[in-house]
Structure 1
Amino acid sequence: SGIGVGLTTLQTWLSNLIDLILIAVVAFFMLLDGERLWTFFLNFFPRSFQGKLTETIQRSFLGFFWGRLILSVFFGVSAFI
């Protein structure tokens, strides 16, 4: 039925719009208060562990983003060829 398909499409579109808005808002506040938020997060752990935790998380995220970048370049070049 056409109405069902239309409502499903509308629901998907609105869900994606809300996701986009939430991501933009969270990213904005992370840019504003990222350092303070990170300090707040670290305070849940003992001081002796905070340095190693920070280093481990930074290394993991850096590895993740490098991997995504390499995959993106690979897929981009593959699609171009």
Structure 2
Amino acid sequence: NRAAGARLLLERHGCDFLIMDDGFQSARIHIDYALVVVDARYGVGNGRVIPGGPLRAKIVDQLVFTSGLLKMGEG
């Protein structure tokens, strides 16, 4: 339960911010800044969603919610 875990960390443990992997997948969490990380060599693979590719959603649909894009590595 991502929302309950986030709430616990913020309210009881005094966290100022949370870094989440796959945070786009939880509509119940308010996102202040959304960073998409892409492997420079692999990119977004074949650009297709599961089961035809590695993406959970179309990249063009997700970029609307993205604050920044980080390319990791050399490509």
Q: Which has the higher contact order (CA 8 A, sep 6+)?
A: 2
TM-score (ref. length: structure 1): 0.25
TM-score (ref. length: structure 2): 0.27
Structure index of larger Rg: 1
More strand by share: 2
